[in-house]
Amino acid sequence: MERDNKSKEDYAIVLDFLPNGYPSDTRPNHMKTPVAQAIGITHFVLLELVPKKDVFLQPNEKVYLGEGKRDKIHHIAGKISMGKLTSAASSELNYVIKDIVESEESRFVDFFNKSQPLSTRMHQLELLPGLGKKHMWEILDERKVEPFKNFSDIKKRVKLMPDPAKLIIKRIMSEISGTEKHNLFVK
């Protein structure tokens, strides 16, 4: 699902902030740099950020990473894998993704309204965990009648539909972990 042509994140949510760098860093304290682990809001990319001098970040804080003047972030150190997340960042990840999905509900409802077949045998909707052919056909039929307005509209109009927000969250988590062949939400 492409939201815009840019693949870079403009905003991220801080998952964990290490004011003294990583504990595994064996350099003396004065040589360590503070590090934040964050997740991008648009493409759900896990990032390692270096804050500006004397800036302290809080978990769940939204920070600007885009072009132009950044108020809190000095630079992006790079992408990180799920395995490199601290235990605090790992435990925050699910909650932060849930918040993003809920706050940008229309973006994900749009996925249900505009998803396309991947091949003659597989549809993007079937990539959501717990959604099979029966639900897929019901969703496709219902969206022809009228586009879905929100998650509760999907649940109301599709019989025995699992919670759409939870399906999206589970899918994003499995894409971040790198176990999926096709990515719908993570770039």
Any idea what the CATH number is for the domain that residue 35 is in?
2.40.50.140
Instruction: Look up residue 162 and give its two tokens.
Output: 């699992």
The tally of domains found in the chain comes to 2
pLDDT at 3 over 50: no
Of the residues 26, 59, 89, which one is the last residue of a structural domain? 89
Q: Is 135 part of any domain?
A: yes
pLDDT digits (tens, 9 = 90+) for 13-38: 999 999 999 888 888 887 889 999 99
What is the helix (H) or strand (E) element at residue 47, kind and residue range?
A: strand 46-51
Q: pTM of whole model > 0.85?
A: yes
Of the residues 24, 56, 89, which one is the last residue of a structural domain? 89
Q: Is 61 part of any domain?
A: yes
Q: Is 4 part of any domain?
A: no
> Is 187 in contact with 175 (CB distance < 8 Å)?
no
| Non-local CB neighbours of 140 within 8 Å, separated by 6+ positions | 123, 125
Of the residues 45, 62, 89, which one is the last residue of a structural domain? 89
124: containing domain: 104-176
Q: Phi, psi (5° rounding) for residue 15?
A: -95, -40
